[in-house]
Amino acid sequence: MSKIAFVFPGQGSQVVGMGKELADSSEVVHEIFTRADKALEEELSSLIFNGPQDTLTLTVNAQPSLLTTSIAILEKFKEAGITPQYVAGHSLGEYTALVAAGALSFEDAVRTVRKRGEFMEEAVPAGQGTMAAILGMGSDDLQAVTNEISAAGHPVQLANINCPGQIVISGAAEGVKHACELAKEKGAKRAIPLEVSGPFHSSLMEPAAEKLRSELDQIEISDASIPVVANVNATEMTYADQIKENLVKQLYSPVLWENSVQYMLDQGVDTFIEIGPGKVLSGLIKKVNRRVATYAISDLGTLEATIQALKEGQ
């Protein structure tokens, strides 16, 4: 019998029209989009289904939109009686995982990630911070590079440890630029600047983290009914106070995705279901262990095929 983990994508996977086919075909899915509109008192569903893409991609819109779409798809798995042994999400996706595990209500999560997006946008003025993906360099070597650049007065640090050979760095624009140059000098295969609005998962996000703490103080966080593998330490979190602290730290700490996947593999997980648009996480998981089964849900067809395959596997 398969041991299943549900994983939820983060910002960057958003695309106009995501979830529309499912919402049109299922009342239970459509209801999630309606609940998001009510929670935010705006037509978020119209933006998700119709765009425009540049508005959807704004951090304040992308975060609630991705969470809503993923939770809408999750409803079909609940309907089919398929439950995971673990859940995890990449950055923003961690909030989706916490809703899936019953630690956050859907409405509280939608409102909180909208605020989280606002705080992230406000923390660093546009153009002063950025991120870049470094390919073909180990974390220890890249850590030495970022330490050297930071010591020279240009803060930069590891932000997303995604999979072997792919690490994202984040920090002040000058720091990221110099770190990219030095990483390539020291053997990195490529350094790719990312189209992001700020230096996420870096110490420059600490002001946003304090504002987020105030928001989290105002909502009910419950113990998780399913173990949630946390970004900040790649181990299980189930208790409410632990969840809250980890969500605050997550804003300025690296996302330990490779380690999180390895943790779940070590617990016997052999099947990963990516619930949300795109296939980013499935690709990263395959780079950690290419033999593991992965499914990415992008439309009605892949949803139905995945549920059928899982039922047959049981």
Q: Is 117 helix (H, G, I), strand (E, B) or coil?
A: helix
What's the CATH code, domain 129-196? 3.30.70.250
What is the average pLDDT across 19-35? Answer: 96
201 is catalytic: yes
The fold for domain 4-123+204-313 equals: Malonyl-Coenzyme A Acyl Carrier Protein; domain 2 (3.40.366)
C-alpha dihedral over 264, 194, 203, 218, to 10 degrees? -70
- Its pTM stands at 0.96
Q: Which two tokens stand for residue 165?
A: 């050979």
φ, ψ for residue 152 (rounded to 5)?
-85, 5
The domain limits of the chain are 4-123+204-313, 129-196
13 is catalytic: no
Q: What is the C-alpha separation between 221 and 204, in angstroms, rounded? A: 26
Selected catalytic residue, list 201, 260, 282, 298:
201
Please, which pLDDT band fits residue 314 given cuts at 50, 70 and 90? Answer: low
CB–CB of 71/78 below 8 Å? no
Give per-residue pLDDT as tens, 246-273: 999 999 999 999 999 999 999 999 999 9
Selected catalytic residue, list 91, 150, 170, 202:
91
Of 3-7, 88-92, 129-133, 294-298, the least confident: 294-298
Please, which pLDDT band fits residue 86 given cuts at 50, 70 and 90? Answer: very high
Asked whether the predicted pLDDT for residue 123 surpasses 70, the reply is yes
